[in-house]
Structure 1
Amino acid sequence: MSLKIENTDPQIYFHGRWDTSPGTWWAGTGFKLHVQNLHSLALDLGPHTTSPLTSIAVSVDYNNFTTVNVSSGTNVIPVRSPSRTSVVRINVEGWQNNRMNLESLALNSGASLLSYKPSELAFLFIGDSLSAGQYIPMGVDQAWTFIVGERFKAEHTVIAQPGITLTDVPSYGNVHGMSFQFFKTEDTGYYYTTDHNYTTPWDFSRDKPTPTHIVIHIGANDASHPVSGDEFVQVYLDFIRRLRRIYDRQPIFVFTPWGWPAADGEISYYYDGRYEQIVVMSNDKNIFLVNATGWVSWDDVFPDNLHPTVAGHQKIAGEFMNWLENRGLKPESQWATPVLA
């Protein structure tokens, strides 16, 4: 006999953005389980799950994430844990085809759910393809955003969509910009989803936990349309003001572009000087400029699309971690929910 856990069980720790079905939106959305006497796990997924499959990433006891393809119906998840208590972390990898409609869980007989205690450190990353992990095998789970969260032993949410602008204009298949979509439950894939082609306001009280640090890397797609520098600065400032109504005290880190490298060593940038202008004009002493100039070279990107490779994302993560640590933010010494052997 297995133990059935309904999706309404309060011991399931949902993170990211879920709709009421409940179903996932945005890369990296998922849930965490703290389980006593775990030997087997299965997910029963509903009809709103991406067909024919969606790729999820699974980590047991804080080991590396591995990819498991799941679909509507019952899906057995590999969980090899010799510990008395185990932590299972599951999230959708993709920036598209990333809907997981969780109906229930099945644990082995004799297992029981315990409370998951989140880290006190929580990152919120906001961006485009350069933050969502486009073109790399495990998507967001190999992106610099995710890596930073993991290395700091922090909770982390990535609200990022390839091709998206900050300005609310259509861009590369996105019907809205981040200045609109960030405030919605759904990512821009909603537009192409026949069973959910509408948006709902995101209830920010559902953020788990409330972010302690906010990181923004965006603008490449605005520059390609092109949105003028003056307009981009105004849209960015308006976006920050709206964020401040929700996150009134958190430090906000504004990335400059690391640019588009070329084989000859040249690097092209966009909105030169504008990010500095945004930080100054914000008149907010808790907004900081992250100068990413020189972080990425030709060897760090795919030659055909100039997006970071797996190694490139690891390099960026290392650079940003050094930047944070030089300013006094240190990784947690251990995960907040322990694994008991």
Structure 2
Amino acid sequence: MKVPTCLLSLAVIAHLVHATIWQNDQARTTDYPVTVIDPSQYELQTYAPNATELSYKGRWDSKFISCAPGLKFGFTGEYVVITFGPYTTNATLIGYRIDGQDWQFTNVTANATHLLVSPSTAGINITTPITPSTFELRVTNWAYGIQIASVSVSKGERIVRIPNFDRTIEVIGDSLSAGQYATLEGLASYAYGLGAGLGNTEYTITAYPGICLFDKRCYGNLRGMFYQWYYASDVSGRAIEIYGDNPELWDFSKQPAADIVVINLGTNDANSANNVTTSGYVSQYTKLIEGVHTVYPNAQIILLSLWEGFGAVGNTYEQANAFVPEIYGIYEYFNSKEYLDQPVLYDHATNSTYISEHPTKPFVSYFNTTGLMQHNDIGPQYHPTDVGHVKVASHLIQYIKIKFGWILYATGPEVQHDTLYWNDMANY
């Protein structure tokens, strides 16, 4: 669960060893198109990164630098061009699409301009066009990031702000939520599958590989999520190079308040190499929940039980677990009469607790992940396969639908890319 330095998809690895991955009777494509252009050769209408028409998803700092969230806006015309600033990690793989089309991919470069939509883009010249079209961008790799320098469309055309959806979900986690070692990482994780799979939902994934919940150094991360959740940047080496010892506090008012917060933290804390005590874990988990509740007082918070992979036992496999009674005990505490009658809230700004003036209704739920995955749903690096992520996301979607009455709106546009596996060859 260390922070990746250069994560390669299974398809790329296969390419490097001159093998071929067959999918739908075709070789899997990983040589994504080169989209760099010379903008002087085009007539463009250019917008600064602070244009109000641009809707930034997830956490971006004041210089429009991000680790791996996204960008969304409407546009008229047939071109979308984005220039990436100097703080963009070279060769960062981004996914992008218009309207209900499938994700497209390209590797972007610092201080370069990329043509992402043109008249040849699928869906741009349909008979009954959607006006304006919607452009969406997501970064796949959670160790890399981009900086938006400008957004351009055809001369005489315009960009349009797309209103936010009426409901918002946030996932707080580590590499398991970030999608580390999944084929498309951030766009293959259960957290992304949950947010996108619900449909008509704003989603934020605050998750970093290797991070502990407890505020200490873990696998190269200088701080834990107990601290880091309040900041705009992540805990990667890239962030340290940019911000040094002065990261920007995250302004929670920049995004809609979360209606549901999913927390999946503790896998790295449970590793003996990181020396996190059980009492320390429980204490800071409790205060993190109180902090989240202070920022999002109307949010429902779902605590996920941890999955620790599978080990061979005799002639079968068994799932390992960690912090099982501790996480369930935290859930019980927040639903106890003791807490609800006199709720203690945590104020990060003053690093203190205070007593709320009014009793609160239960807002913490427990989601047991045991049994959702089997041993072949966990890859060699102890992280879910693409199928494993789909299983967790699917069960969470149904849990949220049943418990909170959320309607499922995802009825067409692609969610998980490159997971359309099928076989129509009868003789094999």
Mapped to 2, the partners of 1:181 and 1:40 lie a distance apart of: 38
Q: Given the alignment of the two structures, is residue 196 of structure 1 paired with residue 243 of structure 2, yes or no?
A: yes
Match of 2:73 in 1: 33
Closer, same or farther: CA 191–93 of 1 in aligned 2, 3 Å: closer
The aligned amino acid for 2:181 is: Y
- With over 3 angstroms needed to count, the CA separation of the structure-2 counterparts of 1:193 and 1:241, relative to structure 1, is closer
Question: Quick check: 3-12 or 324-333, which moved more?
Answer: 324-333
One-letter code aligned to 1:292: T
Alpha-carbon separation, structure 1, partners of 2:144 and 2:56: 19
| Partner deviation per Cα, 1:149-202 (whole Å, 9 max, x = no partner) | 111111100000111000011111111000011111110015664343231111
How big is the shift at 1:68?
1.6
TM-score for the superposition, normalised by structure 2: 0.73
Instruction: Say yes or no: does 1:43 pair with 2:87.
Output: no
Q: Is the 8 A contact 1:253 1:287 kept in 2?
A: yes
**Letter aligned with residue 223 of structure 1:** A
Corresponding residue of 2:317? 265
* C-alpha distance in 2 between matches for 1:328 and 1:232: 28
Q: Is the 8 A contact 1:214 1:250 kept in 2?
A: yes
Structure 2: distance between partners of 1:332 and 1:315? 16
The answer as to 2:176 corresponding to 1:130 is yes
Shift of 1:55: 1.5
Q: Deviations over 1:8-64 (max 9, x none)?
A: 210111111111211113x3x121011123x111111111111x3212111211333
2:378 counterpart of 1:301: yes
| Amino acid paired to 2:96 | V
Q: Secondary structure at the match of 1:33?
A: strand
Q: Give the match's secondary structure for 2:333.
A: helix
* Cα deviation, residue 90, structure 1: 0.6
For 2:57 and 2:239, locate their aligned partners in 1 and report how far apart those are by CA, in whole Å.
24
Check conservation: 1:190, 1:196, Cα contact below 8 A: no
Cα distance change of structure 1 residues 192 and 87 upon mapping to structure 2, 3 Å threshold: closer
Q: 1:63 aligns with which of 88, 97, 101?
A: 101
Q: Confirm or deny: 8 A CA contact 2:401 2:408 kept in the other structure.
A: no
Contact 1:34 1:86 (8 Å CA) reproduced = yes
Structure 1 residue aligned with 2:388, among 308, 312, 318?
Answer: 312
Q: In structure 2, how many angstroms separate the alpha carbons of the residues matched to 1:75 and 1:10?
A: 21
What are the equivalent positions in structure 2 for 1:146-165 lying under 5 Å apart?
146-153=192-199, 154-165=201-212
Q: 2:297 aligns with which of 243, 248, 252?
A: 248
**Identity of paired residues, percent?**
24
* Alignment check: 8 A CA contact 1:67 1:138 kept: no
CA shift at 1:332, angstroms?
4.9
CA distance in 2, matches of 1:35, 1:152: 25
Q: Cα gap change, 1:331/1:151 in structure 2, threshold over 3 Å: closer, same or farther? A: farther
Residues 185 and 200 in structure 1, CA contact (< 8 A), matched pair in contact too:
yes
Would you say the 8 A contact 2:153–2:159 is kept in 1? no
Is the 8 Å Cα contact of residues 259 and 293 (structure 1) preserved in structure 2? no
Alignment equivalent of 1:322, drawn from 372, 377, 398: 398
TM normalised by structure 1 equals 0.91
The CA deviation at 1:139 is: 1.2
Query: Aligned ranges for residues 108-147 of structure 1 at < 5 Å?
Result: 108-147=154-193
Q: Is the CA contact (8 Å cut-off) linking 1:259 and 1:296 kept in structure 2?
A: no
C-alpha contact 1:17 1:186 (8 A) present in aligned 2: yes
**Structure-2 separation of matches of 1:13 and 1:252:** 25
2:92–2:139 Cα contact (<8 Å) kept: yes
**Can you give the 5+ residue segments of structure 1 that lack an aligned partner in the other structure?**
336-341
Rounded to whole Å, the distance in 2 between the matches of 1:105 and 1:192 is: 24
CA RMSD of aligned residues (A): 1.8
Partner of 1:87: 134
Q: Deviations over 1:238-290 (max 9, x none)?
A: 11111121111210001111332125311110112111100111235110011
Give unpaired runs (5+ residues) of structure 2: 1-42, 341-361, 412-428
Report the counterpart of residue 205 of structure 1 in structure 2.
253
Aligned CA distance change for structure 1 residues 262 and 214 (closer, same or farther; 3 Å): same
2:65 corresponds in structure 1 to 23
Corresponding residue number in structure 2 for 1:181: 228
1:102 to 135, 140, 148: 148
Runs ≥4 in structure 1, deviation > 4 angstroms? 190-193
Question: How far apart in 2 are the matches of 1:212 and 1:192?
Answer: 28
Match of 2:369 among 278, 282, 292: 292
Kept after mapping to 2: 8 A contact 1:258/1:295:
no
Q: CA deviation at 1:137?
A: 2.4
Letter in 1 for 2:195: G
Between the aligned partners of 2:157 and 2:231, the Cα distance in structure 1 is: 36
**Counterpart contact for 1:261–1:296, Cα < 8 Å:** no
Q: Classify the secondary structure of the residue corresponding to 1:167.
A: coil
- Structure exhibiting the larger radius of gyration computed from Cα positions: 2
Pick closer, same or farther for the CA change 1:241–1:230 going to 2, 3 Å. same
| Cα deviation code 1:78-121 (max 9, x no counterpart) | 452232321111121111122x1111112123422222011111
State whether residues 56 and 67 of structure 1, in contact with CA within 8 Å, keep that contact through their aligned partners in structure 2.
yes
SS at match of 2:218: coil
